[in-house]
Amino acid sequence: MTRMSMTNTPKKATIDDASQIGRTLARAFADDPMMRWFFPADATREAGLARYFATLFTRQYVHHGVCEHTAAAAAYWVPPGAQDKAVPDAETIAELGEILGDRAPLFQEATTAAAAHGPQEPHWYLAVVGADPAAQGQGHGAALLRSGLAKADADGLPVYLESSKPANLPVYEHFGFEVLGEAQLPGGGPTLWPMRREPRGTARA
């Protein structure tokens, strides 16, 4: 078993971690095509992303998902039976609308379009995973991926995600994901690649 430093050992995230997680994910997604589409202004993107990810965490995923973090990365997972929570509810959309400004309608269209490509079978959904680029190569993102994938494997269930960054596709493929196709977001948005990973090992009795 590979030894892992304490700094990149996944821990359960709590509401008190919201600000740190928001800042971490803002740095992680600063060059993501979808996030740059939602937040086109370079000067305000990082602050907007920090509020965006912290809001999703505090209003949604910390209550209905499985959220873990390390010193430099965070992940939001949605377990089976809670897939309806993967699409932001009306109150969350209203709060995000203030953050997104005139990009809010594009966000609503994008989340609806992305949800339409989700599988109907029971599955785990990887909503968000990202690591601070300053900690690149230290295994933070990989640790969070392995932790969540182990939970899905224990359930004997597949995992689903969407990526809007082509450079990330080989990373996910390394962990067993396969690209299902391409989806063009409405309103001139970026391309999404839905991906699926079959369960490994023996399902829990």
First to last CA, the chain: 24
Contact 87, 115 (CB under 8 A): yes
CATH code, 98:
3.40.630.30
Q: What percent of the chain has pLDDT over 70?
A: 94
Containing structural domain, residue 165: 9-197
Number of domains in the chain: 1
CA angle 204, 159, 23 (to 5 degrees): 115
Residue 1 lies in a domain: no
Gap between the Cα atoms of 132 and 138, Å rounded: 10
Residue 4 lies in a domain: no
Residue 204 lies in a domain: no
Residue 2 lies in a domain: no
Residue 139 lies in a domain: yes
**What global pTM score does this model have?**
0.90
Per-residue pLDDT reduced to its tens digit, 147-203: 999 999 999 999 999 999 999 999 999 999 999 999 888 888 899 999 999 999 754
Return all residues near 87 (Cβ < 8 A) that are at least 6 apart. 111, 112, 115
Average of pLDDT values for 54-61?
94
**H-helix segments, the chain:** 18-28, 33-38, 42-56, 62-64, 90-100, 104-116, 140-155, 169-174
Residue 91 lies in a domain: yes
Residue 45 lies in a domain: yes
Per-residue pLDDT reduced to its tens digit, 115-150: 777 788 899 999 999 999 999 889 999 999 999 999
